[in-house]
Amino acid sequence: MEVRVPVTEIVDRFLAGDRRALARIISRVENETPEGRDYLRDIFPHSGKAHIIGVTGGAGAGKSTLTGALASEYRNRGKTVGIVAVDPSSPFTQGAILGDRIRMQSLALDPGVFVRSMASRGALGGLAPSIADVVAVMDSFGFDYVIIETVGAGQDEVEIAGTALTTLLVNNPGTGDDIQAMKAGIIEIADVLIVNKADHPGADILVSQLQALLALAPAGSRRPPILKTIAMKPEGLEKVADAIDDHRRWLDESGELEKHRMSNARHQVVAAARAILLQRIQRNTSAEELDELVRQVAGRTLDPHTAAEALADSVRG
């Protein structure tokens, strides 16, 4: 591939390891500004080296604490870590309280760690609209690991598996019986299952329920390990870090990594195309035109799909 000369000074500073440049570029990319797109175009070829870890699980499961503890474990191993922590935006005011840093205080001044909080900004699935781009920026900066912490997820927020290479599902004792776990599609995306707060009653029962559930999985599929942690202490994180590295090795050796990269890239291209089309429709349609279509649909003289076709036709011009 032809080597492009970076067009802006901020990209130079980014590539030289300037953390403020990293922070500013993330903002531009997160806000999907034209500059953000330019920066990403220059930076993207440098991505693809970090191992991307997703941490998901219910609200209060200990995702932030576990993410912080896992990052500390990697720091002990001499590795650098970028963290992207997503919290929900209010559906009413679009505001957000981003509080994941509170659980990561011990990393606050570590030059080998960079923590960025993101609001979900209306995205479904536990992530944020521009998460894949922000992760690519962190990856390009040169961190060995990038950890994505999702919004508290319940049963089918499985988007994370389309962005991360290794997905951790954080469970807690006492949060439902084995049928709850059997229902949850989220279990199917887990590469490593974690029983956090393992000092609480019921931890061993949960471990055996999860084992029984995994035994029902189709033959030949990879069985995710089940690991007990007490992230607050922290306890059990060495095994988690080892399990992630094992999974990465398995991805490399089985050829799954290439498949994963292809499907993640496909997902990103399609999502970006959808966003561009939506923007074009928004540009080409006035509020009055939309209102008129909406009135017709509400009055049952037009169906929603035909109305949408009319909007989509506006970009063909």
Partner 1 sequence: MAAAPKSSEKKIRVLIAKPGLDGHDRGAKVVARALRDGGCEVIYTGIRQTPEMIAEAALQEDVDVVGLSILSGAHLELFPRVVDELKKRGIGTDDVLLFCGGIIPEEDSKALNTLGFKAVFRPGTNTQDIVKFVYEHAAS
Task: By CB under 8 A, name the one of 116, 197, 228, 247 that touches partner 1.
Answer: 116
Does 290 bind partner 1 (CB under 8 A)? Our answer is yes
| Burial annotation 121-138 (CB, 10 A radius, 16+ → b, else e) | bebebbbbbbbbbbbbbb
Task: By CB under 8 A, name the one of 9, 105, 220, 301 that touches partner 1.
Answer: 105
Binding segment toward partner 1, per CB under 8 A, in 148-156, 205-213, 261-269, 277-285: 277-285
Rounded Cα distance, 260 and 162, in Å: 8
Helix (H, G, I), strand (E, B) or coil at 85: strand
Alpha helix locations (H) across 170-286?
A: 178-183, 203-215, 237-254, 256-284
Does 76 bind partner 1 (CB under 8 A)? Our answer is no
Does 64 bind partner 1 (CB under 8 A)? Our answer is no
| Burial annotation 8-30 (CB, 10 A radius, 16+ → b, else e) | eebbebbbeeeeebbebbbebbb
Task: By CB under 8 A, name the one of 10, 52, 55, 123 that touches partner 1.
Answer: 123
Rounded Cα distance, 73 and 79, in Å: 9
The nearer residue to partner 1, 61 or 107, going by C-beta atoms, is 107
The nearer residue to partner 1, 117 or 175, going by C-beta atoms, is 117
Cβ neighbours for 219, distance < 8 A, ≥ 6 positions apart: none
Helix (H, G, I), strand (E, B) or coil at 165: coil
Count of CB atoms within 10 A of residue 180's CB?
13
Rounded Cα distance, 274 and 276, in Å: 6
Does 35 bind partner 1 (CB under 8 A)? Our answer is no
Does 287 bind partner 1 (CB under 8 A)? Our answer is yes
String marking each residue 147-166 x if it binds partner 1 according to CB under 8 A: --------------------
Q: Of 212-231, which residues contact partner 1 (CB under 8 A)?
A: none
Task: By CB under 8 A, name the one of 46, 101, 239, 267 that touches partner 1.
Answer: 101
Count of CB atoms within 10 A of residue 218's CB?
5
Task: By CB under 8 A, name the one of 76, 180, 211, 282 that touches partner 1.
Answer: 282
CA 264 vs. chain centroid, Å, equals 12
Binding segment toward partner 1, per CB under 8 A, in 119-127, 159-167, 175-183, 248-256: 119-127
Residues that bind partner 1 (CB under 8 A): 19-20, 23-24, 26-27, 31-32, 89-90, 93-99, 101-102, 105, 108-109, 114-117, 119, 121-123, 129-130, 278, 281-282, 285-287, 290-291, 294
